[in-house]
């Protein structure tokens, strides 16, 4: 089984984990948060934890998996948006497609941009600390929040950009810490044996 898992393409793994975490946090969003926008910021955004850790470990090689994850989740949340009246067939209109593509690009590359700004070399796994993870998580969240909220503000009326900007950052940071500690206390999980880098990374904490 382990040998079989080790043959899985990293992008397929990242894409699959992204969607799993996304739908887990959607349960939290739908049960606890009362928002008229299905794509409003969540106070617990688990996929951000994945994109931070996956990018730190895999670098730009895992961008395709992240991008597809964002596109698929973007289609889902825009399909179930109530206030804008978007229905399943409307998802293919040009405006919605452009919004999904632009926000997916920004969300997929925000961590790489943060690594560049902070001058962090993700190739050296042993040099990464919890402080590094938190710094990258916060900066990438600010970049992603600014980019995504600007697009939504220009696209939809009554978009509460200030509140959403802050909620994005809070949800991303909580999501990162949640995913990190789940992995930290699950070192013996089979999925972590797929890539040796994960084991090297988690041994530090």
- Domain hosting 137: range is 2-202
Query: Tell me: the pLDDT tens digits for 50-86?
Result: 999 889 888 888 899 999 999 998 888 877 654 444 4
Domains of the chain: total = 1
Q: What is the CATH number of the domain that holds 38?
A: 1.10.1760
pLDDT of residue 120: 84
Sequence-ordered list of residues with C-beta below 8 angstroms from that of 134, at least 6 positions apart, any chain: 173, 176
pLDDT digits (tens, 9 = 90+) for 84-129: 444 555 556 788 889 899 999 999 999 999 999 998 877 666 667 7
The whole-model pTM stands at 0.79
């Amino acid at each position: 089984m382990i040998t079989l898992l080790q043959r899985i393409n990293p992008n397929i793994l990242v894409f699959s984990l992204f969607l799993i975490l996304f739908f887990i946090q959607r349960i939290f969003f739908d049960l606890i948060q009362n928002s008229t926008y299905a794509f409003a910021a969540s106070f617990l955004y688990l996929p951000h934890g994945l994109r931070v850790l996956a990018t730190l470990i895999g670098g730009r090689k895992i961008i395709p998996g992240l991008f597809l994850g964002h596109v698929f989740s973007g289609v889902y949340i825009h399909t179930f948006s109530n206030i804008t009246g978007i229905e399943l067939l409307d998802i293919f209109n040009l405006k919605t497609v452009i919004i999904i593509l632009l926000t997916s690009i920004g969300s997929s590359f925000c961590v790489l941009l943060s690594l560049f700004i902070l001058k962090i070399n993700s190739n050296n796994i042993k040099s990464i600390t919890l402080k590094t993870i938190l710094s990258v998580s916060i900066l990438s969240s600010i970049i992603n929040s600014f980019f995504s909220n600007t697009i939504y503000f220009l696209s939809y009326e009554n978009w509460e950009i200030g509140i959403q900007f802050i909620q994005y950052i809070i949800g991303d940071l909580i999501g990162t810490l949640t995913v990190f500690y789940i992995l930290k206390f699950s070192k013996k999980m089979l999925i972590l044996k797929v890539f040796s880098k994960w084991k090297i990374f988690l041994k530090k904490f």
